[in-house]
Amino acid sequence: MKVWEWIDQNCELPSESGAKLKGKFRTGITPYTRGIYEAYGDPAIRFITLVKSAQVGGTTILKNLMMWDIENKPGPGLYVTANEKMAKRFNDRELEPHFQYCAVVEQLAVRKRGLWAKLEKLFKNGATVGLIGSNSPSNLASRPVETLKMDEVDKWPEESNKEAPADQLAEARTKTYEDTRKVFTISTPTVESGAIWQRYLRGSQEKFHVPCPHCDFWQELHFKYAQGEGELWYPEVCRRDDGTWDLDRVQREALYRCAKCDEPIHNDKKRAMTLVGKWVKTNPNAPSDHRSFHVSALYSPFETWGGIAKVYLQSESATGKLHDFWNNYLGLPWQRQATIVKRSVIKEIVEISPTYRRGELPIQPLVISMTVDVQQTNFWWVVRAWDKKGVSYLIDFGSAISYEDLGEISRREYKFEGKKYDVLKVMIDAGYTARRRAGVYEWCLMSGGRCFPSKGSSKKDGILHSIRETRVTHKGSEFLLTQYDDDVYKEELYRRRIKERAGPGWYLPVNITNEYIDQLTAERLVERTSPRGGIEFVWESSRDNHLGDCEKMQLVFWDLVAPHVRLEEPEDEQDERVEPSLKVDIPPSEWS
């Protein structure tokens, strides 16, 4: 019996799991998974790697295979995810509810005290299932393992430089079973140097090909047009008179265009196309025992092509979101490239900016934002004005010694055509030292919600999105801390906005200072050898870069605010300034 047939026969979708589907599990809903299940069942295959977008049923594949293992490959099995908390969550939400609905697994389970634990299960035929967090090296180094499942490897905590990466440590446990082991690795990707993309490159690099319903040409589904590829397409008539996209219309009218005949293919053809689809190898140099697969949301039964086009257009002006779109919808790694910002580039931006001076408002602002970088003895701050499309103008910047100074600066008013405007919200860095952080929290609390703390970190520990909000408690009061991916926003600022002038306009006043230019040119993204042996990119700074950090935080601020100001409204309906609630919509797939 094929692996997917076993799954269709034995697995159910319990309603408690919160899944959209109920009843018998049907692999036919996600036809691209069948070939992956078959690769797993192939006795000649030892390594299976799946790089994927969200919403393609990735976690379900892992869970189904763990159930198949119990009857069909009853050796010691191990599931590894970022940390123990997430291992527990996977167990509670995925594994246990499904075990109980699977008669085969339930008959084999030894549910005796001491032999059955949440993260360590035993079965009558000798199969075991262990679930652990990748951040426990002692766990990773003990006992041999025959079937290894590594979940969301790109979100595992950064390894120390002395130790081998955690996925390699886990894999080392399978050596005893060299001739029978199965190492299944799955993740949405982050950057090219990440674990999942590096593994994908080593394998067969298979793409899912489907036939055009018009001309029967077999092709991979692509998001954007490149030579000889099809594309996700939405007509120009979906634009309003002012040039902005009518997103609902885009969602309704987007379709796919065939790579060969260019004919439009509607979303409702997707199911029939994917049902007959085939995996096609693209890496002739892959070892014969490693099959690697890539699948994007374009194939997903849970997303429409129009919905994906809409998300893309919503992401376009927001940095972190574009990065997330690339990772979570296209299942592709973000491509980094070495970046150095020269002084001349900053001066060119001044030249292309509308002419205005520091302290002046060149536009009627939708919102004015202030960001503050906290240092040992002082603060640095930047004020920017934004229009509804995300075009922004540096209004003022400087340093301050005390919170009193900061308070005074944050209450300054700016004039445009006789009307006064002031700073809506202040975002302050809470990432410095513990001693400073308490002061930052205190200041935010006293501001009554006008000021809020933020903290940059790297995209690890299970964070799927470039921005998220977590609750923190200070002196008995609870409030939101904004966390963001530092690398993503630095890259957006220095490479995209400044160097390439991509994205919405990013402007500077004519009387910018040398100090500002010095601090905006202090950071560079350089290449180095990663612990995996490949190339990775890291940010280095040669001197003070606090104003650069303030400008980076401005982009974070906009990403928080943008979803709440209605980007697609015509000008005349935008007169009233919107008070944004700083809530970020977190999709159900969020791991945090």
* 269 sits near Zn ion (criterion: CB under 5 A): no
* 29 sits near Zn ion (criterion: CB under 5 A): no
Classify burial at 379, counting beta carbons within 10 Å of its beta carbon; exposed 0-12, middle 13-18, buried 19 or more.
buried
The Cα–Cα gap between 210 and 221 comes to 8
Question: What one-character-per-residue DSSP string does 172-192 give?
Answer: HTTGGGTTT-EEEEEE---BT
Helix 319-328 to helix 305-315 angle (10° resolution) is 150
The window from 50-58, 205-213, 328-336, 456-464 that contacts Zn ion (CB under 5 A) reads 205-213
> What are the tokens at 370?
């202030």
* 261 sits near Zn ion (criterion: CB under 5 A): yes
Number of residues that bind Zn ion (CB under 5 A): 7
The window from 62-70, 112-120, 216-224, 276-284 that contacts Zn ion (CB under 5 A) reads 216-224
For residue 152, count other CB atoms closer than 10 A to its CB. Answer: 24
* 50 sits near Zn ion (criterion: CB under 5 A): no
The window from 9-17, 140-148, 209-217, 561-569 that contacts Zn ion (CB under 5 A) reads 209-217
* 36 sits near Zn ion (criterion: CB under 5 A): no
Shortest Å distance, C-beta 270 to Zn ion = 14
Q: 403 CB contacts (<8 Å, ≥6 apart)? A: 439, 443
Q: Which CB sits closer to Zn ion, 14 or 213?
A: 213
> What are the tokens at 454?
């933020």
Q: Which of 50, 129, 258, 297 binds Zn ion (CB under 5 A)?
A: 258
Applying the rule CB under 5 A, the residues between 273 and 332 that interact with Zn ion are none
Q: Which CB sits closer to Zn ion, 221 or 498?
A: 221
- Residue reference for tokens 């959209």: 20
The window from 5-13, 260-268, 518-526, 570-578 that contacts Zn ion (CB under 5 A) reads 260-268
Q: 557 CB contacts (<8 Å, ≥6 apart)? A: 369, 371, 425, 427
* 436 sits near Zn ion (criterion: CB under 5 A): no
Parallel, antiparallel, or unpaired for β 367-374 and 419-422? unpaired
Q: Which CB sits closer to Zn ion, 212 or 520?
A: 212
The window from 35-43, 85-93, 157-165, 207-215 that contacts Zn ion (CB under 5 A) reads 207-215
The window from 55-63, 255-263, 432-440, 570-578 that contacts Zn ion (CB under 5 A) reads 255-263
The Cα–Cα gap between 277 and 321 comes to 30
Cα distances from 447 to residues 335, 424, 425, 453, 470, in angstroms, run 40, 12, 10, 11, 19
String of contacts with Zn ion for each residue 388-417, x by CB under 5 A: ------------------------------
Q: Which CB sits closer to Zn ion, 261 or 586?
A: 261
* 266 sits near Zn ion (criterion: CB under 5 A): no
Shortest Å distance, C-beta 256 to Zn ion = 10
* 215 sits near Zn ion (criterion: CB under 5 A): yes
Rounded to 5°, angle at Cα 13 from 12 and 17? 140
> What are the tokens at 576?
């009233």
Which residues of this chain interact with Zn ion, rule CB under 5 A?
212, 214-215, 217, 258, 260-261
